[in-house]
Amino acid sequence: MLFLDSRTIPHCLKDQEFLDDTDFVHIEPWVTWQGIVFPNSTKLSSVFKNFDVALVTDLGPIFARSAGIPYFIIPSGTDVTQLPFPFRSWSARPRGPRDLFGFVIAVRMRKALRSANDVWPSGPFSPWLLAAKRLGMSFDTFLPQAIDTELFSPVYRTPANDPTSNRLTIFHPNRILFNRRRCLVESGGSMMNDLLFEGFARAVGRGVDAWLVLIERESSWEQEEARRILAELGVGNRVSWLEPDDRAGFTWAEMPKQYNASDIVVSGFAGWTALVSLEGAACGKPVITNLEPHAMEAISSEGNPFVQASTIEEIEEAIVMLAAPLQRESIGQASRKWMIDNYDRERVAQRCLALLVANGFDT
């Protein structure tokens, strides 16, 4: 059974057909402020008691712990890197009553994390390991993020029918957030998009006919500053801002079209595998990003197809290199294969089942 809180369902899932399967998915306002304060008296904790084991994320660990059943945490990000640390993450939260509840959540999450049978983050990336160290824990088992490689798949364009085929289109769908506040950097929250803006401008200055595509949405806190920077760099006229019908952004069903309209995908530079990197690679696109080498080696000892870049100069060189169609095609094909081998959702599900069996649960 899948339990989703009706008020916090990620926008990217809004048009997914599986949400209509009421035999499998139960959508209600499961998580309330009263429930966080008194989790033992909530309906969700009561329902969890009917199960042998729970796989939980976000605030789910609070209720699984109250139910008294075994549970494993598959963290989404802030649930492990920020929520348990109310003082360190203070600058990343809105002021007001929510700030007080931040301390309540921190107490509950710390207890839930330490009481879990195990925590399975996406890899040994610094934000996860730093959080584990601060909690006095160790994260030793990792579960890759699952990608629907049938939905996120290549649709090859025919150059003869594409009037912009000679222009290099660079798609950067990440949130625009390049503030270097310590909390954001340590938790992997800063996308460091400003590095891309300058690297892009330099590549254009070297004669690359490139076009940058960004997404305008409410969670991009610094997009107005980004417009100013791009204008000052002299490339504002080479940037398109996509405007989704919903200010929250595009859904998963809508995103493959955007990936496939591009030549290159650029993800964040925080050091770990954002979904953008994985979705872009699954669509057969070369992906420029910054990933911690030791973490990626632990995930795949045979290497990975991502084009590594962590400085303005490296981003510039990556764009110039990928201006060659044969380079893009070769890396894109390798990216697609690597995703199927490592992140396809069926493979990840099998890995998850194997972990449960290894922990004594007969599936």
| pLDDT of 329 above 80 | yes
Q: Judge contact between 169 and 263, C-beta under 8 A.
A: yes
Q: What is the pLDDT of residue 163?
A: 47
CATH (one of 2.60.40.420, 3.40.50.2000, 3.40.50.2300, 3.40.1740.10) for 159-342: 3.40.50.2000
Assign 103 a pLDDT band (cuts: 50, 70, 90): confident
Q: Judge contact between 265 and 318, C-beta under 8 A.
A: no
Assign 95 a pLDDT band (cuts: 50, 70, 90): low
Question: CB count, 10 Å around CB of 167?
Answer: 13
| pLDDT of 164 above 80 | no
Q: Judge contact between 202 and 216, C-beta under 8 A.
A: no
Give the up-direction half-sphere exposure of residue 316: CA atoms within 13 A in the CB hemisphere: 12
* Burial (CB count <10 Å: 0-12, 13-18, 19+), residue 245: exposed
The stretch 207-219 carries a mean pLDDT of 93
Lowest mean pLDDT of 135-144, 151-160, 231-240, name the range.
Answer: 151-160
The stretch 129-143 carries a mean pLDDT of 94
Q: What is the pLDDT of residue 157?
A: 60
Region(s) of the chain under CATH 3.40.50.2000: 159-342
Residue found under tokens 């994390």: 113
The stretch 274-288 carries a mean pLDDT of 96
Q: What is the pLDDT of residue 358?
A: 95
- Average model confidence (pLDDT) for the chain? 90
At a CB cut-off of 8 Å and minimum separation 6, what does 119 contact? Answer: 72, 73, 75, 80, 113, 132, 137, 139, 141
3-state secondary structure at position 299: helix
